[in-house]
Amino acid sequence: MKLTLANIKELKRNSSSPLIKRVCNYVINEWSDYSDKKSIFTDVLYHGCQSGIVGELIYYTDTVRFYKQYKEEINSLLYDAMDGTGLYAPSELFGDKWDKEDPLAQYDYNQNLLAWFGFEETLRNIAYNFESLENYI
């Protein structure tokens, strides 16, 4: 599929996932700020949300709210990632960034990591739909 604003909007419209719809909204909102539309994806996927590139996911209040809003979908993405890599704990996937004292992500720090993870994985999954991004993901 060609990377166009119309196709992003179509993916959003055809999705039943609130998380995909939210991430599509991010792409739609950023569209006019980028001359090279691939960079909307690569900026996030190369540098991560931790870089501050996604303005709505900088502060704990925002990331924790995002995590709580999309918790079920993020947990499903986490399960799929761990299953696909053969890892059996978030601490194995996130390494020393994961607070092992909070294995169930009850507190802000791990919820923040999971919000970033959920956003990035969803953006990556959206990117898989576009030929022009296949060399970047």
Domain that holds residue 109: 5-133
DSSP 5-59: HHHHHHHHHH---HHHHHHHHHHHHHGGG-SSTHHHHHHHHHH-GGGT-SGGGSS
How confident is the model at residue 134, as a pLDDT? 81
How confident is the model at residue 67, as a pLDDT? 98
Distance CA 53, CA 43 (A): 7
Q: Which residues of the chain have pLDDT under 50?
A: none
Distance CA 137, CA 133 (A): 7
**Domain count of the fold of the chain:** 1
**Cβ within 8 Å of residue 44, ≥6 positions away:** 53, 54, 119, 120, 123
- pLDDT, tens digit (0-9, with 9 covering 90-100), for 106-121: 999 999 999 999 999 9
